Structure 1
Amino acid sequence: MKLTPSDFGGALAVEGYGPGFFRIGRTVMQGAVLVTAGEADAWGGLDDRAALLALGGRIDVLFLGMGADVAHAPADLVAALREIGIAVESMSSPTAARSYNVTVAEGRRVACALLPL
């Protein structure tokens, strides 16, 4: 699905997604991804906690896309991120991508970690 373009003030946006991929800043990335205003990287999924914890001090909110369906994030992961000042919002990956796009366009310190559909 292609998302509606907008002005993101130079920040990377999630421009589209489909089975197994995300299009970020006109680059197609396969598998899970971690996106901040300035970079998009492959992400090892829920077991790759180090990548999420490294966001401490850089973001205030993490939109965690759990794939095609809404699911709860592991409680210990949420607790670890809250300890370093990051609020976590779990939702489906399409909803997380749209939420990230809206809030990063507002200039807020956010990221999204997206599991593929």
Structure 2
Amino acid sequence: MRLTEITYSEARPIDGYGPGFFRIGGKVLEGAVSILPGGIRAWGGYDDTATLVAAAAEIDVLFVGTGAEIAQIPSAFRATLEGAGVGVEIMASPAACRTYNVLLAEGRRVGLALIPV
């Protein structure tokens, strides 16, 4: 079997997560985070759409990790993002991390907004 190492350009993969934190590109960040082409930063939750909307021209889909379990997101949050042209996919944060890493490795235009487990 031949293994090929995955390399990421400027984007950072999710290395791990745990109660209240995410490890992204080797750095531990506590609380909710967003990962967009413009960088990694703390995310203020569903009321914080400005940064996500600003990245609309650079991403095709935003994965929203809702914590340990999949949950509904506020309809206004979804409407704001979809109105800006961003596809929104909701899943539990662990699944969102895995899906993001796979699509990132494929060179896809993806973003991520995560609530910790």
TM-score by length of 1: 0.89
CA distance in structure 2 between the aligned counterparts of 1:34 and 1:14, rounded to whole angstroms? 11
Q: 1:25 & 1:97 partners in 2: Cα distance?
A: 13
Question: Which AA in structure 2 matches 1:36?
Answer: L
**Identity rate, percent:** 51
What's the counterpart of residue 25 of structure 1?
25
Q: Output the TM-score relative to the length of structure 2.
A: 0.89
C-alpha contact (below 8 Å) 1:35/1:111 kept by paired residues: yes
Segments ≥4 residues shifted beyond 6 Å: none
Larger Rg: 2
**Structure 2 residue aligned with 1:48:** 48
What is aligned with 2:6? 7
- Residue 73 of structure 1 and its aligned partner are, at CA, apart by 1.6
Corresponding pairs, count: 112
Residue of structure 1 equivalent to 2:66: 66
Alpha-carbon distance between aligned partners in 2 of 1:38 and 1:8, rounded to the nearest angstrom: 19
Structure 2 gap ranges (5+):
none
Give distance in 1, aligned partners of 2:24 and 2:97.
10
Q: Is the 8 A contact 1:37 1:104 kept in 2?
A: no
Let me know the Cα RMSD of the aligned residues: 1.3
Q: Give the superposition deviation at 1:95.
A: 0.6
